[in-house]
Amino acid sequence: MRAFIAAKIGDTLHILLETKPMSRSEITAKQLAHNSIAGNDDPGILKKMYLSIEEAHLRMMAFIDEKKLELPELTNIQITSLNTYLDMLNVKLLFLPYQLEDFKAVIDKLEGTEDEIFVAPIKEWDQFREAVNLTMKREDIHSLGASIACMSEIVLKHYGEDKFVPKRG
């Protein structure tokens, strides 16, 4: 109302109502987001309301700085074995300053579960990272693996090796 009056746009006010059903968490997130714009919150009530929001994306929509809520630190959970039953390869790509000497030192520290290990000079790292980032940006990709797969397709097409590029759709 204050914005409407201050804007002096006319004498008719239109109100848009949300008509879709909302969960308790959605309502709380919207309420907290609105309250963060105007007003002062009681820290105890704010913390209780924020923690009642069950979905992570709704907590983000509430625009609450978790540091101010003094939430307890989350403990890390170590996952020792994850068997996905998928046909996959475990590949390590190492960028090392001195390939052979460093490779021998690193090889002892690897888990031994790798199907392939590739080594490249560390001076090539910046160029590789830039190529991955550029591919992600230009192709609207949000995954490192998908970006590398796309880079492989681009190179194969460039060199006329289309027979290795999977057909999509």
Residue-wise pLDDT tens digits, 70-85: 877 767 777 666 666 6
pLDDT grade for 5, boundaries at 50, 70 and 90: confident
Phi-psi region of 83 (alpha: psi -120 to 50; beta: other; left: phi over 0): beta
Q: What tokens does 75 get?
A: 């403990």
Mean pLDDT score across all residues of the chain: 77
Q: Which letter does DSSP use for residue 120 in this model?
A: E
- β-strands 91-96, 116-121 pairing: parallel
Q: Would you state the pLDDT for residue 52? A: 92
pLDDT at residue 50 is higher than 80: yes
169/154 Cα distance (integer angstroms) = 18
Q: Would you state the pLDDT for residue 134? A: 92
In tens, the pLDDT along 90-148 reads 677 766 666 555 566 666 666 667 677 777 777 888 888 899 899 999 998 888 888 88
Q: Would you state the pLDDT for residue 138? A: 92
**CA-CA distances (angstroms) from residue 69 to 2, 42, 43, 58, 123?**
30, 11, 7, 16, 44
Helix (H) or strand (E) holding 96: strand 91-96
